């Protein structure tokens, strides 16, 4: 069965420092950027509630960083309360908790198996967008993630190429090659805000994953 992952960026509403918990929105019934809609009334939670762990970046070979103490559908949204271990219990999980608390992390990802769905077509910015409305879906997992890095962001950093331009001229003229001047180093390419955001998020994900591996290695020594 295909497992679908959807990322939700959110604002932390209530943080209980002593209990190390906060509430978060895992999913709503609003349309996402892919044109998909998840009907909140279709969530099946029974199996997930038997083992409601929250992983880091869907890494199943590593210890969970939190637990979903409560999960429910309310006011058209899938809500959950995350509880994190103390620093003494799991230093890396404490780091993740502090990053959410400080606003450096703002996203969770839900993994679910679609049971009933239908194709929907909408108009956005003058274009036809074909997506999926999920009518019934079983929650499999919740994961802490960095803000999603759009794979198209780096492409958008350069000038846009019109559709079909790649094949517009099968025999293009050779492009002159400019040789760098050692006295004037080339100016770095300007990145779009989306590209900078993608690079920062990717670097943060790599840093946290590396720290986790270092912690696990030291724990086994």
Q: What are phi and psi of 211, to 5 degrees?
A: -60, -35
Tell me whether residue 182 is in a domain. no
The pair of three-digit structure tokens given for residue 21, joined into one six-digit string: 């918990």
Task: Kindly report whether the global pTM for this prediction surpasses the value 0.75.
Answer: no
Residues 37, 124, single domain; the answer is: yes
Tell me whether residue 172 is in a domain. no
Strands 43-44 and 127-145: parallel
Q: Which of 91, 125, 147 is the last residue of a domain?
A: 147
Residues 142, 215, single domain; the answer is: no
Which residue do the tokens 């606003």 mark? Answer: 103
Strands 21-28 and 77-83: antiparallel
Residues 106, 201, single domain; the answer is: no
Q: Domain range for residue 58?
A: 4-147
- Are residues 7 and 67 in contact, defined by beta-carbon separation less than 8 angstroms? no
Residues 195, 95, single domain; the answer is: no
- Tally of domains in the chain: 2
Q: What is the pLDDT along the chain (221 residues), one digit of tens a residue?
A: 678 888 776 666 678 999 999 998 877 888 888 889 999 999 999 999 999 999 999 898 999 999 999 999 998 888 899 999 999 999 999 999 999 998 888 888 889 999 999 999 988 888 888 999 999 999 999 999 986 533 332 222 333 333 333 333 333 334 344 444 555 444 444 545 544 444 444 555 555 556 555 655 555 55
Tell me whether residue 177 is in a domain. no
Residues 136, 153, single domain; the answer is: no
Residues 43, 133, single domain; the answer is: yes
The pair of three-digit structure tokens given for residue 80, joined into one six-digit string: 């959950």
**C-alpha torsion angle, residues 1, 130, 199, 30 (rounded to 10):** -80
Tell me whether residue 175 is in a domain. no
Q: Which of 147, 181, 203 is the last residue of a domain?
A: 147
Q: Which of 92, 117, 147 is the last residue of a domain?
A: 147
């Amino acid at each position: 069965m295909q497992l679908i992952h959807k990322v939700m960026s959110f604002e932390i509403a209530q943080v209980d420092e002593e209990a190390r918990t906060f509430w978060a929105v895992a999913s709503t019934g609003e349309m996402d950027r892919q044109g998909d809609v998840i009907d909140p009334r279709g969530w099946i939670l029974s199996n997930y509630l038997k083992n409601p762990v929250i992983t880091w970046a869907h890494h199943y070979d590593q210890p969970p960083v939190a637990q979903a103490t409560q999960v429910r559908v309310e006011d058209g949204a899938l809500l959950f309360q995350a509880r994190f271990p103390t620093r003494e219990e799991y230093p890396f999980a404490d780091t993740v908790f502090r990053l959410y608390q400080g606003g450096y992390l703002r996203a969770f990802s839900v993994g679910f198996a679609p049971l009933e769905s239908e194709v929907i077509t909408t108009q956005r910015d003058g274009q036809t967008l074909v997506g999926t409305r999920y009518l019934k879906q079983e929650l499999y997992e919740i994961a802490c993630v960095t803000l999603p890095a759009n794979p198209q962001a780096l492409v958008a950093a350069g000038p846009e190429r019109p559709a079909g331009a790649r094949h517009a001229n099968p025999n293009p003229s050779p492009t002159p090659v400019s040789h760098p001047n050692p006295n004037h180093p080339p100016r770095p390419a300007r990145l779009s805000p989306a590209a900078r955001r993608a690079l920062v998020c990717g670097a943060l994900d790599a840093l946290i994953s590396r720290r986790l591996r270092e912690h696990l290695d030291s724990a086994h020594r």
